């Protein structure tokens, strides 16, 4: 077995990727970053990153591991196997931890392609949002070989409060995350529905939010996302279009298992309607904007 990793590159320095990269730096790992956003690159350099560039090729030979926290399977595929794909530049034995929310079938295909380059994969989706990423307290639901887990232990210790080893078969980690996203998406959608009804009934939304978060109807997603509605702040922490993508993965998983999902199907329709109405890049709590006949709070300073 190869030794545990010391040199890691985080690809995708959004809210969760940046938190993961900074957690790796705090843990004493030699950390590089890659992202198309120049501001994110500079932020990571200032935080103590060894280097940060639009692509990881310049430092690929130094890496023991790569952590991908990009939006979807298409981005993973393009980064690893597209024109000038990174997989061909990594030294044999490098561990590739894919933490994007993707289908089990895509995870299995990526593992097979990586193996052709003598690279090891951990199927390791994450949850916890930007706040837990920033403190190194994400939840990781992962599947892969004992070797992959052992070598990535320093990275997992750095970024996660909880690591669930779902099994050795690639795809199991992704399936657990997809089922989790069913709950997350439905919770946001039903939270929006409840707050929309409160608005229609003339209940102050700050009051409704306070009641729910101190009573039995609360959920983590309600408490986190409906605060955005109360504040009238739809700057994206996680966008509407992310849940269009994730709930479509839920639907495809259910279709492959010939299994009905009535609530998830409704939530998918709600997020799709919000995206279609032009809110796709706003925070996912903007799904509440599909309800007509109500007045929502506006951010301070807005007319």
Which uninterrupted H or E stretch holds 133?
Answer: helix 129-134
Q: Which two tokens stand for residue 189?
A: 């959608």
3-state class (DSSP) for residue 75: helix
Rg value, the chain, Cα:
20
DSSP characters for 222-274? Answer: HHHHHHHHHHT----SSBHHHHHHHHHHHHHHHHHTT---HHHHHHHHHHHHH
Phi-psi category of residue 67: left, alpha or beta, with phi > 0 → left and psi -120 to 50 → alpha: beta
Task: Give the separation between CA 122 and CA 144, rounded to whole angstroms.
Answer: 5
Q: What is residue 5's DSSP assignment?
A: P
Q: Which two tokens stand for residue 74?
A: 């298409």
Q: What are phi and psi of 167, to 5 degrees?
A: 155, -175
Residues annotated as catalytic are 177
Return the closest-CA partner of residue 280 out of 253, 243, 248, 229: 243
Return the closest-CA partner of residue 106 out of 86, 139, 141, 81: 81
Q: Are 113 and 79 in contact (CB under 8 A)?
A: no
Please count the other Cβ atoms lying within 10 Å of the Cβ belonging to residue 295.
Answer: 9
Helix (H), strand (E) counts: the chain: 12, 9
């Amino acid at each position: 077995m190869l030794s545990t990793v010391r040199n890691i590159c985080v690809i995708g320095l959004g809210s969760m990727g940046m938190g993961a990269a900074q957690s790796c730096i705090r843990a004493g790992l030699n950390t590089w970053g890659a992202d198309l956003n120049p501001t994110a690159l500079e932020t990571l350099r200032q935080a103590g990153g060894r280097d940060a560039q639009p692509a990881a090729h310049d430092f690929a030979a130094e890496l023991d591991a790569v952590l991908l926290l990009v939006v979807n399977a298409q981005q993973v595929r393009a980064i690893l196997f597209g024109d000038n794909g990174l997989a061909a530049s990594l030294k044999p034995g490098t561990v590739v931890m894919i933490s994007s929310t993707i289908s089990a079938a895509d995870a299995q295909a990526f593992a097979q392609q990586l193996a052709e380059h003598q690279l090891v994969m951990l199927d390791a989706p994450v949850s916890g949002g930007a706040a837990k990423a920033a403190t190194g307290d994400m939840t990781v639901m992962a599947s892969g070989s004992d070797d992959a887990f052992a070598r990535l232990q320093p990275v997992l210790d750095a970024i996660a409060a909880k690591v669930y080893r779902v099994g050795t078969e690639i795809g199991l980690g992704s399936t657990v995350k997809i089922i989790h996203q069913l709950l997350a998406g439905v919770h946001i959608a039903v939270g929006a529905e409840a707050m929309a009804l409160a608005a229609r009934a003339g209940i102050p939304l700050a009051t409704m939010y306070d009641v729910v978060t101190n009573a039995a109807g609360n959920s983590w997603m309600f408490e986190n996302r409906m605060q955005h509605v109360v504040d009238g702040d739809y700057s994206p922490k996680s966008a509407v279009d992310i849940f269009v993508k994730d709930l479509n993965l839920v639907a495809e998983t259910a279709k492959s298992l010939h299994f009905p999902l009535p609530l998830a199907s409704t939530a998918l329709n709600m997020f799709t309607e919000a995206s279609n109405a032009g809110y796709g890049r706003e925070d996912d709590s903007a799904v509440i904007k599909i309800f007509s006949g109500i007045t929502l709070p506006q951010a301070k300073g807005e007319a």
